[in-house]
Structure 1
Amino acid sequence: MDIIDDLKYRGLINQVSDEEGLREALKKPITFYCGFDPTANSLHAGNLLMIVIMMRLQKAGHHPIALVGGGTGMIGDPSGRSTERQLNTKEVVEGYAESLKNQLDRFLHFDQGNATFVNNAEWLNSLSAIEFLRDVGKYFTLNYMLSKDSVQTRLEAGISFTEFSYMLLQAYDYLNLYELKNCRMQMGGSDQWGNITAGLELIRKRGHEEQAFALTFPLITKSDGTKFGKSMGGAIWLDSEKTTPYEWYQFWYNASDDDVINFLKYFTFLSKSEIEALANEVESHPEARKAQKTLAREMTVLVHGEAALKQAEHISQALFSGDISQLNGEEIRQGFKDVPTYQASSKDSVKLIDLIVEAGIVPSKRQAREDITNGAIYVNGSRRNDLDEVLTQNDRIDNEYMVIRRGKKKYTLIQF
């Protein structure tokens, strides 16, 4: 199937300005772009959909331009927001833009000739207000701008002229890339349709004859109505320091049966036949979670690599079996990132009964004695029921960590 049919099969086309025209244009390599606003120093799971679609088009022979909005990021896009965005300083935006460039390079490989990185600060920061009003603003009526969803949804609560002008700046980005790099398609989430089509309007009104295109994909929601890309701890980031590879693996592994096949279509490069086989597994053997395991593996390799996948699977297996002692220090840091942590003294030995009281694992020595006697206390996955037990450096993992479990699920990380 061609790239449009593949995107349709995967549910990745929401709107397209001229489907037949785009199909014809895509018979030869074209240049296209997608924008990312630098609002943080890392992209997140929601942004990954845009990256993967860019990679699909790249694999089909087309030329992606990844645009980071170092200029527009100084203003803020009103799309999908109910309130004004908090503005960052120029230095913060520049730092975020550089971080995003490095992340995008891991997927699109800018130094290999087929993909290009641009920062719209290159042309927007030197654009004067008079130039902007004459060369861009005069081509748009207020009625046209007010008709866009991104503006209409903000009218009642109020929208500043700053955010109101964002649409025109994005339109200018498209015109600039069209003229300088022969970029003929802009893609983005469905909430970007108004901004993208404003670019088409500007290209047309500036007298360009070669057709340009707009393509959007649907914004992802989970079957239970919760927002995609969020967990109990907040956003799921591509940066391994913000979201560890283990957390990333678990995010995908915990996809529901109702979501997992759609996620396989959206985010992986598995073929239609491979995805359909996994859909049959969900129907016939849901308890095996084969589709979820495949999704978690594919996504972890894509974002963090093979070594990180092996580490994430090792942590998962150890936590499932309860044998914590097989983990190393780095795996402990990942697997127990969000559990309560107690900073213990570095002395060579400590009585178990004293440690679990000091760490707040039990409220009193009486309760400690009762729990140890009843076999409810585990150290690194091993049950300890000796009231006189003394823990030494031999009980520490990498001489730094000890994991104490009370009952079935209450974990505490002891750090020395």
Structure 2
Amino acid sequence: MIHIEKVRADFPILNQQVNGKPLVYFDNAATSQKPQVVIDAITNYYSTINSNVHRGVHTLSQLATDEFEATRKKLKAHFNPKHEHEIIFTRGTTESINLVATTLTSLVKSTDEIIISALEHHSNIVPWQMLCERTGATLKVIPMNDEGELLMDVYDELLTENTRIVAVNHISNALGTINPVEEIIEKAHKVGAWVLIDGAQSTPHMKVDLQALNCDFYTCSAHKMFGPTGIGFLYGKEAVLNELPPYHGGGEMIKDCTFEKTTYAELPHKFEAGTPNIADVIAFGTAIDYINSIGIENIEAAEHDLLIYGTEQLSKIPGLKIYGTAKNKASVISFNIGDIHPFDIGTIVDKLGVAVRTGHHCTQPIMARFNIPGTIRASFAFYNTKEEIDILVAALQRAATMLS
């Protein structure tokens, strides 16, 4: 059970006013807020052990390396890959997907097929389009229905012996749909395809067991998980990562380097060239500790309650239409009110202290599917409350009256 007052006290940014009103932060799908312990972890690194990692025999370097690698251990314990070295630190989900799509270039043929879904963020569309342009491979898309659920019977038809990789998100950032990734992975493996799961929106909200999922790649961004921006990870099965060439060349990723030839380091260093984002990796580990102190099951239950309550209350507003009504859904509600442009609604509710996201949410194909310019998106975290949802509803009603 979550003690909401205690939890909210952990997040200093929540205790402030915006435009003279108490802040109501409902833009968690874009980025989550950070508890004080995460902020302190960044400060503590620079104040006490600032040094480069993996390269020094002196005390500070060893302390920094220990703290840095401790995060990899925490991620292994939290996500359950088979090996620690299957966790590659990246700048986040976008870089992780680009790493895979780029390094696959030499392994993909013009006769190969890549499958994505109609629910993807641009970061899980564009890299695959670029791979197809480089290789001549064909991009296929799993369509969705009016509720925002993937048409799995069509997915069955899209899978062939030429399918090389299937890349789908675990949860839609725009609609909140939780995709049947277990089924997607199992069916893809039957035709010999690799599977990448975009976990940017799932990892803050649910338990993810990588060995149980059995996907080949999984991606994550720390800033969605109450951690810092600019850091995340790519998980890849050891055998699969060993097939891929390095993504960047430089320090740390070499075994031996001469002017005639360079041989590459073992995992994970093969994919971690250069000085890493040390402070934020350490703080990412602190964020994982914080999530576990609350309990991921408690987080999931609290956010589900907010989703149910928010859906009920928002549905009472005349003319409000919710986009994304999947049976299996995370704590995201996308909606419009009549013909009012979402940007106009968002601007007014901001003046009332409520932060929501408006626009296409980097999912323009979804908006085209519904023939709309964008939506208003309220996305909840476990530190939000039903009282804040009531404030949102009142702000929306006032905005709708002003703009009608």
Structure whose CA Rg is larger? 1
TM-score in terms of structure 2 length: 0.21
Q: Which has the larger helix fraction?
A: 1
- The structure whose RCO (Cα within 8 Å, separation 6+) is larger is 2
Return the TM-score normalized by structure 1. 0.20
